[in-house]
Amino acid sequence: MKPKLSPIDLDELLKIPLLKALSEQHLLTLNRSAHERSFRKKERIFTPEKQEDFILILLKGKVRIYLSYPNGKEFTIAFLEPGDVYSSHSGTFAEAMEDTIVWTIDIKVFSSFMLQDPVILISMVKVLGESLGNTLGIIENLVFRDVGKRLANFLIQAAREKGQTTEHGILVNLGLTFLQLRLFRSPNSLSSTPNLKSIERVKR
């Protein structure tokens, strides 16, 4: 049996933007409906073949959402961070990129829960709306932009959302390796290598 990660306490939960918007009572109610599960780095959380039907709320760590093709190629469509919400019946794979803790809530229970608690419903709709916007952006990139432009657009968006201004320019900590970034931008992990090498040369 794998060693279990330390559980998340209430103070840590309240640091997550999505959950911070809830009252302590609402948070405890949500907690009672959820199952806390831990995953080690590179462990799969769900696959399209699994019959589980749940809503996932990421509490700690980072999760890669991706598609996998019969020819062995993979295409990353999103990286989830604490507070992000995703569904297990989305037809995608989910893999922990580091030691990760999530809440999983049965989708029927979750739907009923949101209808009974408008405060939580508003918070969830906001997050899900942002996720939809990110998905539409990915589709637009795939249809209208080549690999180089997709990479540039991703870095520009990351700089807007997470960039920190320094004397040398804007610093963005993506928390990704070059391989993970290549998978994120193209189903063919080798196709964006020249673009990344060009950026690395400019950096030097």
Is residue 43's pLDDT more than 90? Answer: yes
Torsion of CA 128, 131, 137, 142, to 10 degrees: -120
- Predicted pLDDT of residue 112: 76
Give the list of residues 6+ apart from residue 150 with CB closer than 8 angstroms, or none.
141, 142, 185, 186, 192
Give the Cα separation of 80 and 18 in Å (integer). Answer: 13
Is CATH 3.40.50.620 the classification given to domain 1-144? no
Please state, for a pLDDT cut of 70, what percent of the chain lies above it. Answer: 58
Q: Enumerate the H helices of 89-177 as residue ranges.
A: 107-116, 118-144, 147-162
**What tens digit of pLDDT does each residue of 121-174 get?**
666 666 566 666 666 666 665 555 555 666 676 677 777 777 888 887 788 776
Please state, rounded to an integer, the average pLDDT across all residues of the chain: 73
Name the burial class of residue 188, with classes exposed (0-12), middle (13-18) and buried (19+) by CB atoms within 10 angstroms of its CB: middle
CA distances to 6, 51, 126, 158, 190 from 150, rounded to whole Å, are 38, 34, 25, 12, 14
Give the Cα separation of 75 and 108 in Å (integer). Answer: 29
pTM here?
0.63
**What tens digit of pLDDT does each residue of 97-106 get?**
999 999 998 8
Q: Identity (one letter) of the amino acid at 21?
A: A
**What tens digit of pLDDT does each residue of 170-199 get?**
887 766 666 666 555 555 444 444 555 555
Give the Cα separation of 125 and 131 in Å (integer). Answer: 10
99's tokens: 């030691």
- Predicted pLDDT of residue 99: 94
Give the list of residues 6+ apart from residue 14 with CB closer than 8 angstroms, or none.
20, 24, 27
All structural domains of the chain with their residue ranges: 1-144, 146-204
Task: Provide the strand spans (E) within the chain.
Answer: 35-39, 44-46, 54-60, 63-68, 74-80, 85-87, 93-96, 100-106, 164-166, 169-171
CATH number for 146-204: choose from 1.10.10, 1.25.40, 3.40.50, 2.30.30: 1.10.10
Give the list of residues 6+ apart from residue 181 with CB closer than 8 angstroms, or none.
151, 174, 192, 196
